[in-house]
Structure 1
Amino acid sequence: MTFQELSTNSQDYLKVLWDLREWSDKAVQPTDLARKTGMKPSTVSGAMARLTTQGLVTHAPYGDIILTPLGEQYALKMVRRHRLLETFLVEKLGYRWDEVHKEADQLEHAASDLMIERIDESLGHPTKDPHGDAIPGPNGEMDEDKSILLTAAPEGATIRIERVSDEDSKLLRFLQQQGLSIDGTATIGKFTPYSDIVTLVLPSGANVVLGASAAERIRVTLLDEENSPGQS
């Protein structure tokens, strides 16, 4: 099964499987895939059976879904297409970062390999997309992601925003309105007991209050080493 022979749906499933593992260490279950895609569990099960037959995933009934090496290769090809297209839309066509995800979802299936490589060249071979996500190289190579979820950052730490999930356009607009952007810095405010709220104190002194659902969509690095996990 070559990449070109894959259906659009199969390409989407492979990319979604890879996306789910990128943001979580938890093994992917059929219910996770159904929730992410909005498909019925029976539809997902049928798709996973086909991908298993094609050698792209391993999946026992009611068990974890795991990309095979070939499946991961094809998934990374889709991720590269998606993130290069998002970058092109922002850098060359003036889109905002909250406008590009659905556009790229449509374009990634229609673009030829030649077009993707020409886009890569025209952009100067970027390594990150507008949301801070790493863009895989032509052979699937990627830099190691050393960021952590914002929810894991300790109170008082100074952080730099590295990545924001591109799937919630309302969150992206909200963050931009609050002055938060990729490579922006902030300090983690005082925690409130028995609360999932994260408060970011910006260099301007303004406070941005985020609920858990928003904070879990943001990845950061710690700028003060003494607050890094494992440091005393």
Structure 2
Amino acid sequence: MHTLTEENYLKAIYRLAQRPGEKITPTAIADKLGNNPASVVDMIKKLCDKQLITYDKRKGALLTNNGQRDATLIVRKHRLWEVFLLEKLGYSWEEIHNIAEELEHISDATLADRLDKFLGFPEYDPHGDPIPKANGKMPAIPSVTLAEAEPGTLCRVAAVKDTSTDFLQYLKKLNIHIGTKLQLLERIAFDQSSIIRINNEAELTVSQKFSESILIS
């Protein structure tokens, strides 16, 4: 059994580990969680003592097999709860993250599997993030952003990298969601903004930050 704080650290390290080649430092963890770096160092020691992570200055923090298992379960529960909140309770996609942050800490051993079955075994959460399976396997993770696409590209929104309330509300206002068809019409050399067409209808100029926040397939 882990404390809520320990689980949040495991999840933060898990998510930082999804960035290839990036060393997971106390500063990176502190930035992810909005914590003081000094308190992060103390928690790293506790997690090492519990054999959930290893840490040295050269390699940074790494999840052990036990830490990977526990972190994967936390992420699995979080993303399943997001699907439940959106599909079954009618919450909007900008509301579900904070609620799922609380629900993910329910420790019942069979809850995640029952929830997964009830929802029809979804592969992705409402933001496009893959939901780990009970055996720890993960569906394919979208990795190409709209900012990397060439003008003329036809694509669909596969996921969003920015899950802040402001960005999700902006997408909702534009009627953009997971699965929306986009066409990149032009990229402006001056500031790398882009002109896109949404669902073969409306044309819109969006910022570079916008394009970097949209993952496509």
Instruction: Determine if the TM-score, normalized by the shorter chain, exceeds 0.5.
Output: yes
Larger mean Cα displacement after TM superposition, 118-127 or 83-92: 118-127
Q: 1:77 to 1:171 in 2, by over 3 A?
A: same
> Residue 43 of structure 2 corresponds to which residue in structure 1?
47
Structure 1 gap segments, 5+ residues each: 222-232
Partner SS for 2:121: coil
141-150 vs 89-98, which deviates more? Answer: 141-150
Contact 1:147 1:162 in 2 (8 A): no
- What per-residue deviation string (whole Å, max 9, x for no partner) do you get for residues 163-202 of structure 1? 1146301111111110211111111232222424233221
Residue 25 of structure 1: how far off its partner (Å): 4.9
Equivalent-residue separation in structure 1 for 2:213 and 2:58 (angstroms): 27
- Which of 11, 14, 36 does residue 10 from structure 2 map onto? 14
Q: Sequence identity, in percent?
A: 30
Q: Deviations over 1:83-137 (max 9, x none)?
A: 0000011111111111100000011112523232222121111111111111111
> In the alignment, does 2:156 pair up with 1:160?
yes
Partner of 2:176: 180
Number of residues of Structure 1 aligned to a counterpart in Structure 2: 217
Give the whole-Å Cα distance in 2 for the aligned partners of 1:41 and 1:114. 35
When residues 216 and 25 of structure 1 are mapped into structure 2, their CA distance, relative to the original with a 3 A threshold, is farther
SS of the aligned residue for 1:160 comes to strand
SS state at 2:132 partner: coil
Report the equivalent of 2:188. 192
- For 1:55-105, what per-residue CA distance to the aligned partner results, in whole angstroms no more than 9, with x for missing partners? 222221475222222211111101100000000111111111111000000
SS at 2:22 equivalent: coil
> What one-letter code is carried by the residue in structure 1 that aligns with 2:203?
N
| CA distance in structure 2 between the aligned counterparts of 1:70 and 1:198, rounded to whole angstroms | 44
TM-score normalised by length of structure 1:
0.85
2:55 pairs, out of 41, 52, 59, with 59
- For the aligned residues, what is the CA RMSD? 2.0
Paired residues for 1:114-153 under 5 Å: 114-153=110-149
Report the more deviating stretch, 165-174 or 191-200: 191-200
Contact 2:151-2:187 within 8 A present in 1 as well: yes
Q: Does 1:82 align with 2:75?
A: no
In 1, the alpha carbon distance for the partners of 2:23 and 2:61 equals 7
Q: Once the 2 structures are TM-superposed, how far is the Cα of residue 8 of structure 1 from its aligned partner?
A: 1.0
Asked if structure 2 preserves the Cα contact closer than 8 Å seen for 1:187 and 1:200, the reply is yes
Contact 1:191–1:198 (8 Å) recurs in 2 = yes
Report the secondary structure of 1:79's partner residue: helix
What secondary structure is seen at the aligned counterpart in 2 of 1:110?
coil
